[in-house]
Amino acid sequence: MIKKILKIVGIFIVVLIIALISLPFIFSGTIKDKIRYLANEHVNAKVDFADVDISLIRSFPKASVIIDELSIINYAPFEGDTLAYAKKIALDMSINELFKDASEAIGVQRVVIDEATINVKTDSLSNVNYDIAKAETTTPETSTEESSSFAFELEHYEINNSKLLYQDDVSKIALLMTNINHSGDGTLSGEKILLDTESSSEISFLMDGTNYLNKHKLRLDANLELDMENQRYAFKENKAFINQLPLEFAGFVQLDEKYTDIDISFKTPTSDFKNFLAVVPAEYAKNLDGVQTSGDFSIDGVVKGKVDDTHIPMMDIKIASNNASFKYPDLPKGVQNIVIDTQIKNDTGLMDDIYVLLNTLTFKIDQDTFAAKGSLKHVTQNMLVDMAINGTLNLANLEKAYPLELEEQLNGILKANIKTNFDMQSLEKEQYQNVKSSGNVSIDNFTYASPELPNEIKIENANVSFKPETITLDKMKVTTGTSDLTAEGAINNLMGFLFTKQNLKGNFTVASQVFAVSDFMVAGNETAEEQTTEKTPSEALQIPSFLDANLNFSANKVLYDNLELQNTKGSVVIKDETASLKNVTSNLLGGGIAFDGNVSTKSAIPTFNMNMDLSKIDIVKSFASLELLKGLAPIAQALTGALSTKMTLAGNLTNDLTPVLTSLKGNALANILNAKVSTAQTPLLAKLDNQINFIDLNNLDLKDIQTALTFDDGKINVKPFDIDIKGIKITASGSHGFDMNMDYNLAMDVPAKYLGKDVGGILSQLNEKEVSEMTVALPVGITGNFSNPKVSLNTGDAVKALTQQIVSKQKDKVKDKITDEGTKVLSGLLGGNSKDEDTTKTTTEKPEEKLKDAAKNILGGFLNKNKKKDTTDN
């Protein structure tokens, strides 16, 4: 009998296990149909999910349903935007709910949502992305149960590790809540519901581009009483934490068809001044353990009134502290005599009537006292600012009294005594006549050190004077490294710069005794190749994006790379990360320089465009110092003397704002005023000098030689230009690259008289005038590179030219005498003999052929023999 019972029990258990395993597969279609029914019948959006998993074991005796990766994607006008996403949604319900039809309501007792993201948006046209519910299609007679898909009778719910983004482009408000964790226990059924909830999150809040909260931590422990019939939601025994600031609050929210009624009061449970430090985000306030405080700090507020399309609740929030102090245990100084008396109020319930009264704000560090008072009115519309500041601050004491972690070290004495009154709309419209300011701000012995700067910046003194019409920067003295600056001028929109993120506008005069560009650059380890590649703006020297200013400048000495510029003057307009230089002049390399143009760091790769005029600069010094001139005319390094040039340049810059030579586009007109040649300074001239022996290039005297160049994508093209060397006309042209590869042609017209006595025999047939007028065209090709040139002499063309000239002038005489005279002359020049067999062979050739052979050998003689001391002698 017992064996039978055990057998029956065993069979039952097996059947039960099989049922628990198989039933989810049987009923999974019902839940999937339910979700799809909910989407199709109630939501005007694309609803999708990866899978639905049903288990009768996971939450036994209840059924467990898990929906994986549920997403809701908007249709137009937010096409493709994700309204909501949840990595996992877990529902617990009675097993009976699995047997219901897709159109019947399913009761749910527990909901867990993991890693959800909700994006709520209102665009600039006031369209909202959350209005996705379809119009109600049920009739009044249709029961609630028939039209609902889920009936929540919750005993527990929770949301884990989720986030919410609210963005309103109309009001320019953005609220971001991250790391949301919320749970509630109670009974969500019946007319009155009691819930015990716990919530935590990090909140960031921006309005009109200003960040009012930045990852402020919020924790809320609340007991809620929900009157579902009357839509009244009351807060009982509630405690909240903003960062580490505790607040107790109570009240209710009452929903009505036309408005929402709010009545909530809150206050700090204690008046310890540590409450004030607790408001500051933890990363700035640091650990409050061990902080010594005295005095009090309290927040006491009431938010009460109706909320509709026109009104907000009235409010009266008081923030107060009296004779307080604090000192961190690890810091040498403390802050004393802290007095705070501030109110945030709205007496009308209209949004535009929120105002802030800063009745008193004072504190003292050592012997320095700082005080401020004023008001902010109409804070949501055209805010009116009325503020007065008076006090002294030793900047070095800030991090000695408060745990600031500054990469920059600050020192100096700041003094301020100013009053200002303005409205934000006037600043935005640049109607500065409506800005009423008076007083001054000064700083003395200010030092600023940062990893982004190679040297510490020191401001000996600076003073800004505020007057109703203007704000003036009085003489400011600055030094850094070996550089010094003095500056003065007028600031057009200091308040607009400080309060509305306008670019700082003004006109300034800057002077310097010594200005070393390297004092303002961060040393880098990039190779030249790396510097020519695309860089992010943070990796390159930048023209400040916030400046919109005109500067007139002068400097006795400017040091840039290995250059020294003397007596530099000019003006620069800085705007939109571009510096436009005008009428800049300087003494450089024994001559002068003048240029106009612009430099821009707006794009990832800095660019420039420049018109430059170099006047009478020393060739040797310039080619030792200017990499650009080395690339444009490498052969000029063999010259001594002076040159002038006008250039138009455009191209890219490296991170230290020097030109990338291979990117250059432009042209130049160079004028060699007076120069001597040293062939030993360049392999090209040395090889030319060796191969053309009738010219001694070292004795050339170049004067007033002009040449025009164009360059593009790393290639320099030289237009033809002429040189006359003791009666020899040379026309040069060609191109080379910044890689020093070249392709040049020299067309030389060599006078026949330079051939000397060696060709006297054949030329004796011509009269003196014919000889003096006769020249030989000698083409010379130059290839390879400047360190290893290849020189080719086109003697074939020269022979042909000489033959044609002689034949043309002496047709008849040459025909009769060419056999005897030509053979004898050429044989003598070449050192040959006059054997009968050779003479016989020569006399059988045609006269023109004999003449060509003679001319060819003549050219071979004067191109390959040793140089003559005086090539002009006959």
Give me the amino acid identity at 685. L
Q: Are strands 51-59 and 46-48 parallel, antiparallel or unpaired?
A: unpaired
Interatomic CA distance for residues 589 and 143, integer angstroms = 97
Higher-confidence residue: 735 or 697? Answer: 735
Nearest to 755 by CA among 800, 697, 798: 798
Tokens of 870: 């005086």
How would DSSP label each residue in 386-439? EEEEEEEEEGGGHHHHS----SSEEEEEEEEEEEEEEEHHHHHTT-GGG-EEEE
Question: Given the structure tokens 């390297």, which residue do they identify?
Answer: 518
Count of CB atoms situated within 10 Å of the CB of 525: 5
The answer, yes or no, to whether residue 449 has pLDDT greater than 50, is yes
pLDDT-derived band at 533 (thresholds 50, 70, 90) equals very low
User: Across the chain, which distance is largest between two alpha carbons, in Å?
Assistant: 153
Nearest to 484 by CA among 494, 492, 476: 476
Nearest to 397 by CA among 329, 327, 332: 332
The answer, yes or no, to whether residue 420 has pLDDT greater than 70, is yes
pLDDT-derived band at 541 (thresholds 50, 70, 90) equals low
339-377 pLDDT per residue, tens: 999 999 999 988 888 899 999 999 999 889 999 999 998
The answer, yes or no, to whether residue 450 has pLDDT greater than 70, is no
pLDDT-derived band at 493 (thresholds 50, 70, 90) equals confident
H helix and E strand count, the chain: 18, 37
Give me the amino acid identity at 828. G
739-782 pLDDT per residue, tens: 888 888 888 887 766 654 444 455 555 666 666 667 777 788 88
Interatomic CA distance for residues 462 and 216, integer angstroms = 37
Element (H, E) at 14: helix 2-42
pLDDT-derived band at 513 (thresholds 50, 70, 90) equals very high
Q: Are 52 and 35 in contact (CB under 8 A)?
A: yes
Question: Given the structure tokens 């490296």, which residue do they identify?
Answer: 654
**Percent of the chain as helix, strand, coil, to the nearest 5:** 25, 50, 25
404-438 residues labelled b (16+ CB within 10 A) or e (exposed): eeeeeebebbbebebebbbbbebbeeeebeebebe
pTM of the model: 0.57
Nearest to 487 by CA among 470, 472, 497, 474: 474
The answer, yes or no, to whether residue 236 has pLDDT greater than 70, is yes
Count of CB atoms situated within 10 Å of the CB of 871: 19
Q: Are 262 and 253 in contact (CB under 8 A)?
A: yes
Q: What is the mean pLDDT of residues 599-623?
A: 82
The answer, yes or no, to whether residue 532 has pLDDT greater than 90, is no
Which one of 406-415, 585-594, 822-831 scores highest in mean pLDDT? 585-594
Q: Are 456 and 441 in contact (CB under 8 A)?
A: no
φ/ψ (deg, to 5) at 162: -120, 175
Which one of 62-66, 226-230, 271-275, 393-397 scores highest in mean pLDDT? 393-397
Interatomic CA distance for residues 338 and 320, integer angstroms = 10
Instruction: Give SS3 for 508.
Output: strand
Nearest to 271 by CA among 247, 292, 289: 247
The answer, yes or no, to whether residue 680 has pLDDT greater than 90, is no
For residue 512, list its beta bridge partners: 555
Give me the amino acid identity at 286. K
Interatomic CA distance for residues 315 and 354, integer angstroms = 9
The answer, yes or no, to whether residue 146 has pLDDT greater than 50, is no
Instruction: Give SS3 for 506.
Output: strand
How would DSSP label each residue in 180-234? EEEEEEEEE-SSEEEEEEEEEEEEEEEETTEEEEEEEEEEEEEEEEEETTTTEEE
Tokens of 630: 């080395």
Which one of 142-156, 165-179, 485-499 scores highest in mean pLDDT? 165-179
The answer, yes or no, to whether residue 642 has pLDDT greater than 70, is yes
The C-alpha angle 298, 304, 308, rounded to 5 degrees, equals 135
Residues of the chain with pLDDT > 70, as a percent, come to: 69
Element (H, E) at 751: strand 742-751
Interatomic CA distance for residues 7 and 1, integer angstroms = 10
62-121 pLDDT per residue, tens: 878 888 888 888 888 888 888 888 898 888 877 776 666 656 666 777 888 899 898 889
Q: Tell me, letter by letter, the H, E, C secondary structure of 541-585.
A: CCCCCCEEEEEEEEEEEEEECCEEEEEEEEEEEEECCEEEEEEEE
Give me the amino acid identity at 600. S
832-848 residues labelled b (16+ CB within 10 A) or e (exposed): eeeeeeebeebeebebb
Distances from the Cα of 278 to the Cα of 211, 218, 284, 286, 714, angstroms: 19, 12, 10, 9, 62
For residue 227, list its beta bridge partners: 192, 232
Q: Are 511 and 554 in contact (CB under 8 A)?
A: yes
The answer, yes or no, to whether residue 437 has pLDDT greater than 70, is yes
Q: What is the mean pLDDT of residues 169-184?
A: 87
What pLDDT does residue 340 have? 93
What pLDDT does residue 851 have? 54
Backbone region of residue 97 per phi and psi (left: phi > 0; alpha: psi in -120 to 50; beta: other values): alpha
The answer, yes or no, to whether residue 235 has pLDDT greater than 70, is yes
Nearest to 108 by CA among 61, 149, 166: 149
Higher-confidence residue: 738 or 610? Answer: 610
Residue 43 DSSP class: B
Instruction: Give SS3 for 33.
Output: helix
Higher-confidence residue: 161 or 527? Answer: 161
Burial class (CB in 10 A: 0-12, 13-18, 19+), 550: middle
